[in-house]
Amino acid sequence: MKKINIGLLGCGTVGTGVAKLLIENRELIRSRVGAALNLKYVADIDIQTDRGISFDDGVFISDAQKVLDDPDIDIIIEMIGGEGLAKEFIQKAIHNGKHVVTANKALIASHGNTLLRAAAEKGIDFAFEASVGGCMPIIKSLRESLVGNRITSMIGILNGTCNYILSKITDEGKTFEAALSEAQASGFAEADPTLDVEGFDTAHKLAILNSLAYGMEINLKDIYIEGISGITPLDIEFAGEFGYRIKLLAIGKDKGDAVEARIHPTMIPFDNILSNVNSNLNAVMVSGDAVGDMLLYGYGAGMMPTGSAVISDAADIARNILSGAKAGRVPLLSYQSENIRKIPVMPVDEIFTHYYFRFSALDRPGVLSKISGILGKHDISIKSVHQKGRKTGGSVPIVMLTHLAKEADVKKALSEIMLLDVVGDKPVIIRIEDQNGQD
């Protein structure tokens, strides 16, 4: 039986999951792949901490260069993370002609165009299924299963930390701060949660998916990003009264000569299946001209779910090696390299969507007409209005939902409304995705 040698760089949470699967499920994997996926080396700076794995002698080492330079290693699995050392090691692996598997979404989103081009020129495979959606095979679906489809949109919940926090605020009435603390205590959020809660992690994933779906170069810098730290129980309560839940969504849409790409808290109706994806689960709805809507759902992070996706990539590469298939048999970014273009990301000011506004206004006659008058002047039509009871100091929340409006017009109107002496605090704005209410 042929043996495919693997070198694993990094044995943190996900790296440990990868090693466990390769060792504990080796016979299962061998029976499916037709070769032994042999974990020859695991390199990590910390080789003292017990990972709960019985490595063979000489497998667990601290010298990553030894792994990269070993001529018998066929596949390098990078589980270090970040954009520094991981990038250096991947470049070395490519230079040495070794196939690469990674879960490093930040690296792919920021440097993928360069790294994938180098891999293609070297004639090696570069796989990154685990970089988006954990165990959900969204990358394989876009690259292979949906090859006959024109992808019209992708809308997804791609960060389990944010989804957990919003679920706690919605279902238990917790504040953002309390929900975040609970997420950290449960291991769903980092000590510094900025990348997650401010939307950057989700943006990394959307940048990758856009490239695969639309044949564009990976473009992270132009994605509009807005996090969930400003979401309050009050706004979630109002959303529920209107028949919506609030989720942090990644939204990518084909606009012909541009791609709409944005990350922000979004109100979606109760009957939208994504509204019922809770806790730390992920889901993405892909719409294609042949398949219609297709949903993928599962754990987007974690030792074993993400490890499973990494093993899937390693198995695909092993099968290519066994069959003598040319590397890049399936294009690394779904499209043939000559067909990948620089497609612009639509500026957020150009989008049209529905909006939720919450104003804190003095309880005086004529306030509502002043606000609605400014909105009307900027071509923003009001769909419904709720004005709640009196509050201390005479301020009351005024909540409005709009018909379709242009983001640039909304910004102009809100800037003008903030100048009114009867309106205090900054208005809250949440965009709405409601396919049933397009108008």
Please indicate whether residue 205 is annotated as part of the active site: yes
Q: How far apart are CA 287 and CA 251, in angstroms?
A: 12
How many C-beta atoms surround the C-beta of residue 438 within 10 A? 11
Pick the range with the lowest mean pLDDT from 32-46, 138-152, 416-430.
416-430
Domains of the chain: 3-135+303-339 (3.40.50.720), 138-299 (3.30.360.10), 349-437 (3.30.70.260)
Residues 367-390, mean pLDDT to the nearest whole number: 90
Residues 393-406, mean pLDDT to the nearest whole number: 90
Q: What is the pLDDT of residues 58-96, one digit of tens each?
A: 999 999 999 999 999 999 999 999 999 999 999 999 999
Residue 20 tokens read as 């466990």
**How many C-beta atoms lie closer than 10 Å to residue 297's C-beta?**
18
Binding-site residue ranges: 9-16, 105, 190
DSSP structural state of residue 273: G
Question: Beta partners for 243?
Answer: none
Its sign, for the CA torsion 272, 290, 252, 190, is: positive
pLDDT in tens, 139-155: 999 999 999 999 999 99
CA pair distance 362, 355, nearest whole angstrom: 22
Give residue for tokens 């990976």. Answer: 218
Q: Which is catalytic among the residues 98, 140, 205, 247? A: 205
Which stretch of 36-50, 124-138, 177-191, 194-208 has the lowest confidence by average pLDDT?
177-191
- Predicted confidence at residue 187, as pLDDT, reads 83
In the structure, what pLDDT confidence band is assigned to residue 392 with cuts at 50, 70 and 90?
A: very low
List the structure tokens of 266. Answer: 């979004």
Average pLDDT over residues 370-379: 96
